[in-house]
Amino acid sequence: MPRPHQHQRTGLRRLLRLCISLVLLHSAPALAVPMQNDPNGFEGIPWGAAFSETADFALVENSSLVKGYELKAGPPPLGSATVDAMRFLTIEEQFARVTIRYHGKETHQQIVNYLQSTYGPLDRTPGQFSKGTVQQLNWRGTDTQIILTYDTHADRGIIFFENPLLATRIEAGMAPESDLGGATY
């Protein structure tokens, strides 16, 4: 006859397996694909380059550490895809990240095709390719990482082209100040 504490352990194991299964079902993590042809920047602008307002770029976001710039002529296409917005971010005047926003299933497919042809194919083995309501696709190189997140319900996507070390500094620079009483940015 099993002892009472054995029933508890069996129940805890079942509960733990159930929790793990639910987490795996509801989240479809996509591991980063090794990047081919790391650009060490974006469209010829190397990570860490000095960046300021010019005839081509307008300052649109200005904090003490993080500044955002947009092209005055509007966002250029990404491959053959028309995008809604493209913002170039710096941390302490060093180029660190490009944030691209887009919408539409067709645009999403054009962008994924472009990224795969430029930076390497996605790993489509089970558990490596993100499917579901929110898709996240990643390419990781030595100096550059690309993170694409697409929400199928909202039909919107966002892409980060970034240098991981500088991007970490952006996140730290955007953290709320301690005197804001817990308010976030």
Q: Which residue has the tokens 């793990």?
A: 20
Q: What is the pLDDT of residue 131?
A: 64
CA–CA distance, 158 with 65 (Å, rounded to integer): 23
DSSP helix/strand/coil, 83? coil
What token pair was written down for 147?
A: 């993170």
The predicted-structure confidence for 7-66, as pLDDT tens digits, reads as follows 554 444 454 343 333 333 333 445 567 898 899 999 999 999 998 889 999 999 998 899
The pLDDT of residue 25: 34
User: Using CA atoms, how far apart are residues 174 and 160, in angstroms rounded to an integer?
Assistant: 16
Q: Report residue 4's pLDDT band, with 50, 70 and 90 as the boundaries.
A: low
Q: Residue 104: which residues within 8 A CB-CB, separation 6 or more?
A: 155
Rounded Cα distance between 37 and 62, Å, is 32
Asked whether 93 and 102 are in contact (CB, 8 A), the reply is: no
**65-114: pLDDT as tens digits:** 999 999 999 999 999 999 999 999 999 999 999 999 999 999 999 999 99
The CA-atom distances, in angstroms, between 74 and each of 13, 20, 56, 104 are 55, 45, 10, 19
Record the pTM: 0.74
Residue type at position 125: T
Instruction: Give dist(CA 72, CA 108) in Å, integer.
Output: 24
Give CA angle at 75 (73, 78), nearest 5°: 140
Q: Where are the alpha helices (DSSP H) in 54-156?
A: 105-119
Q: How confident is the model at residue 145 (pLDDT cuts 50, 70, 90)?
A: very high
Kindly report the average pLDDT of the chain as a whole number.
81
46: amino acid identity, one letter: P
